[in-house]
Homo-oligomer: A and B are copies of this chain.
Amino acid sequence: MATSLTLPDLDPTSDRAVFRQIADHIRQAIERGQLREGDKVPSEAQLMQHYGVARMTIRHALQVLQSEGLTVAEHGRGVFVRSHPPMRRLASDRFARRHREQGKAAFIAETEDAGGKPSVDSIKIDEVKPPVEIAERLSLGPNDRVIARSRRYLINGQPVETAISYVPMEIAKDTKIMEPDSGPGGIYARIEEKGYRLDHFVEDIKCRMPLRDEARALKLAPGVPVFHLVRTAYAADGTPVEVCDTVMSGDAYVLSYELPAR
């Protein structure tokens, strides 16, 4: 019964713009559960009829909701309440040595355990001069080169995360870090074999709207922000040995950290 939804009338005495009042009504219907995930919002024509306003006014209201991430428009089909993908939880012990299957392997195991179908694509390995922020974190000079390992993670075909690992050339050379398959235990195992005992990681997390390329790579709906997480791995002597720059769909992740009270 897509038509059972009853929306209030406009308040002509209100200072609030008409398009905002309309957006408020629909937002409230979603918050109250009168419209649920996947439900169709009344069509533009129906809303014009109900409120007696021009189409552009209705569209403006619907656009507000879309940029809030509450709805998605599907051309030729209608406007729908956004359904949220299952959230993937990243625990802070995911790099403890006892689960040291890095990157791809860990992602595949976790996703299958959670009943999803994982995949990894866009794998690319380049020797490059790193971006300045990366070079700083790796304590590299302006002309030092690194190996950049890029990939994209998907769950049930839906991209959820892109990541680029940067490893100083000095460490990566003559190891499987330079090959698409970095071998058992991933690049961290290769780094340790090279004599750098991993000691700790530092993760810096920002929350922002995606850039255009990121929105495309992650197939993000309008109004979905991203986590931008930069992880630096340090050896026991304090040397930074790897930086991983990842962008994650805000929709798809909960990050979880355990902190000692000490």
Instruction: List residues of chain A with CB under 8 Å of any chain B CB.
Output: 27, 56, 63, 67-69, 92-93, 95-98, 198-209, 212, 222-227, 233, 250-251, 253-262
Contact = CB atoms under 8 A, between A and B. Distances in A.
Copies of this protein in the complex: 2
21 contacts: A56-B56, A63-B63, A68-B209, A93-B262, A95-B259, A96-B261, A198-B261, A200-B260, A201-B261, A202-B257, A203-B256, A203-B258, A203-B259, A205-B254, A206-B250, A207-B207, A207-B226, A207-B253, A208-B251, A209-B224, A257-B257
B201 A256 contact: no
A250 B207 contact: yes
Contacts of A92: 257, 259
B205 A261 contact: no
Nearest to A91: B202
A69 B205 contact: no
Task: Give the one of A67, A198, A226 with max B CB within 10 A.
Answer: A67
A56 B57 CA distance: 12
Contacts of A255: 204-206
Task: Give the one of A69, A93, A226, A260 with max B CB within 10 A.
Answer: A260
A67 B66 CA distance: 10
Contacts of A223: 67, 209
Task: Give the one of A207, A227, A254, A255 with max B CB within 10 A.
Answer: A207
Contacts of A222: 67
Contacts of A224: 209
Contact of A261 (B97, B259, B262): B97
Contacts of A209: 68-69, 223-225
Contact of A205 (B202, B205, B260): B205
Task: Give the one of A201, A223, A262 with max B CB within 10 A.
Answer: A262
A206 B261 contact: no
The 7 A-B pairs at the shortest CB distance, nearest first, are namely A225-B225, A207-B250, A207-B207, A198-B261, A67-B67, A205-B255, A201-B259
Contacts of A95: 259, 261
A7 to B, nearest CB: 17
Given A67-B222, A206-B250, A222-B67, A258 B212 contact: no
A212 B27 contact: yes
